[in-house]
Amino acid sequence: MTSTAIHPSSPASPPGEAPAVWTQGLGKRYGNFDALNDLTLEIARGEVFGLLGPNGAGKTTFLRTLLGYLRRTSGSAEVLGIDPEVDPVGVRRFVSYLPGDARLPRQLRGHAVLRFFADIRPDGDLENALAIADRLELDLRRHVGFMSTGMRQKLAIAAVIGTRSQVLILDEPTANLDPTIRSRVLELVLETKREGRTVIFSSHVLSEIEEVCDRVALLRQGRLALHQKLAELRARHRILATRMSTTPGAAASLPAVPPELAESISQVAFDGPELMIETVGDLAPVLGWLASLDLTKVRAETFGLRAVYDSVHHHEAVSV
């Protein structure tokens, strides 16, 4: 699924108000392999934008293209109105990036690493980085070479989130972290959002995306398979129930969805006695109708990202 984005440099959207990220038909090809294909996307300033997709879907390629690490083979891309291929340094002046596998100079101590990244950036803030390191319970006296994988990840997070950059790109920031520190990192992401900064959050952990993101894009085989507002997703439910009557003609006897609920019920499916109803918006009016049906073992669950992800991942149709 693709959508048309307004060009950020158009009169309606001057560079000073350009979206955090804008791409149009973005593509990256390696030989015969399309790592990215016709990706059109817009990320607004100040939002937390999730990137989801299986391994090799093109998430990291997309992020690295935005930073000017890779030269695109087709399409256009702008970050805060700056083309990363024309002015990669200009882009990186406003963007901080945490790679999926962040590696730091092994010969430096933790404190020296934070000082290096604070000094080298115009928006570097050593005090903030030190405060974040403290929140992440990181011992900065150790050499990077003697740190565990999780400690190195925490150090990289402190170095990246500690800056005052307008845009943060975090590629799997919670990898290798224990549950306590994970939740602190998610808190930091939400604090960053409250400061009005933009966060692009790539992760395989669906619950984390659901917790912090405003919108999410699902990539599959280099293409944008879906993008979804999380608020809309949270308002959707799936109701599972078993019909009391399991005679062969029971399906036909199931009452039709009342017209006043047509907006609230997006899908009704049954497999033998098992019934599945997907709802959108307020659940209360639907419950009344359900009570009139001949159902038992009724349970309602939020329509989580898992269902969307599975649908996209397994090439199933999904109604959104």
Partner 1 sequence: MIDRVLVRTYLVQSLLLWAACATTLFAFAWVRVWVSSLIDMGQFRTIVEQFRDFERFAPIGFDALFTHTGRIGMTFDEPIVILCTVVWAIARGSDVVSGELGRGTLEMLLAQPISRTKLLLSHAAVATAGLASIVLALWAGMAIGVARTEVTETVPPPSLRIPFTAFELPLTMAGPTQESFPMSSVVNPYDFAAGVFSLFALGFFVLGLSTLLSCLDRYRWRTIGLVLSIYIFQLVIYGLGKAADRLSWLQGWSFFNWYRPQKQIAEVAGGGWAAPWRWTGPDADSWFGPGVYPWLLIGGGLLFYLLGIIAFRRRDLPAPL
Residues lying near partner 1 in the complex (CB under 8 A) are found at 60, 64, 67, 69-71, 88-90, 92-93, 95-97, 99, 101-108, 116-117, 119-122, 156, 159
Cα separation of 77 and 22, whole Å? 6
Rounded to an integer, what distance in angstroms lies between the CA atom of residue 78 and that of residue 171? 19
Residue with tokens 């919108």: 215
DSSP state of 99: -
CA pair distance 271, 262, nearest whole angstrom: 21
Q: Nearer Cβ to partner 1, position 173 or 307?
A: 173
Cβ nearer to partner 1, comparing 23 with 165: 165
* Smallest distance, partner 1 to C-beta of residue 149, A: 12
CB of 189 to partner 1, least distance (A): 18
Question: Strands 198-202 and 48-52: what pairing?
Answer: parallel
Strand partners, 41: 23
Query: Which of 122/179 has CB closer to partner 1?
Result: 122
Nearer to partner 1, 152 or 215 (CB): 152
**C-beta of 174: minimal distance to partner 1 in Å?**
17
| Minimum distance of partner 1 from residue 78's CB (angstroms) | 17
Q: Judged by CB, which is closer to partner 1: 115, or 215?
A: 115
> Which residue, chain included where needed, has tokens 């085989």?
221
| Helix, strand, coil share (%) of the chain residues, nearest 5 | 35, 30, 40
261 vs 9: CA distance, rounded Å: 43
Least gap, CB of 119 to partner 1 (angstroms)? 5
